[in-house]
Amino acid sequence: MTSILRFFDFYAPLIYLLLVLWAAIAARHLWRAWRESHAAVFGLERELAQRRVNQGIAVIVMIALLLVGEIIFDSILAPSMPALVMLQTPTANPLAVPTDTLLPFITPDPTPSPAITPEAAGGCIPGQITITFPEPASEVRGQVMITGSANVPDFGFYKYEMSPLGQDLWSTISAGREIVQDGDLGRWDTSQVTPGDYLLRLVVTDNQGNAFPPCVVPVRVLAP
Q: Is the dihedral of CA 166, 170, 173, 175 positive or negative?
A: positive
Would you tell me how many other CB atoms lie within 10 Å of the CB of residue 108?
19
The answer to whether residue 105 scores a pLDDT higher than 90 is no
Q: Residue 91 gets which letter from DSSP?
A: P
- Of the listed ranges 21-30, 52-61, 101-110, 163-172, the one predicted with least confidence: 101-110
C-alpha span between 16 and 23 (Å, rounded)? 10
Measured from the Cβ of residue 31, the count of other Cβ atoms closer than 10 Å reads: 12
| Class of the domain covering 85-221 | mainly beta
More confident residue, 21 or 46: 21
pTM over 0.85: no
> What would the pLDDT profile of 131-153 be if each residue is shown by its tens digit?
999 999 999 999 999 999 999 99
Q: Residue 206 pairs with which residues in a beta bridge?
A: 155
Q: What gap in Å lies between CA 15 and CA 109, rounded to an integer? A: 42
With 60 as the cut, is the pLDDT of residue 223 above it?
yes
122, pLDDT greater than 80:
no
Res 2 pLDDT > 70: no
Helix, strand, coil percent content, the chain, rounded in steps of 5: 40, 30, 35
Cα(153)–Cα(208) distance, rounded to whole angstroms?
Answer: 11
pLDDT of amino acid 110: 47
Confidence of residue 113 (pLDDT cuts 50, 70, 90): very low
Closest residue by Cα to residue 156 from 81, 72, 68: 81
Which of 191, 186, 152 has the alpha carbon at shortest distance from 172? 186
Top-confidence range, 10-14, 34-38, 71-75, 171-175? 171-175
Which positions ≥6 away from 68 have C-beta within 8 Å? none
Q: Which amino acid does the sequence have at 109?
A: D
- What is the rounded distance in angstroms from the CA atom of residue 89 to the CA atom of residue 171? 5
Check residue 71 and give its pLDDT: 82
Say whether 12 sits in a helix, a strand or coil: helix
Compute the mean pLDDT over every residue in the chain, rounded to the nearest whole number: 79
Query: Which tens digit of pLDDT belongs to each residue from 8-30?
Result: 667 778 888 888 888 899 888 88
Supply φ then ψ for residue 199, to 5 degrees: -110, 135
Determine how many CB atoms are found less than 10 A away from the CB of residue 224: 11
Amino acid (one-letter) located at 102? L
Whole-number percent of the chain with pLDDT over 70: 75
pLDDT at 4: 65
* Cα dihedral value 36, 39, 43, 45, nearest 10: -30
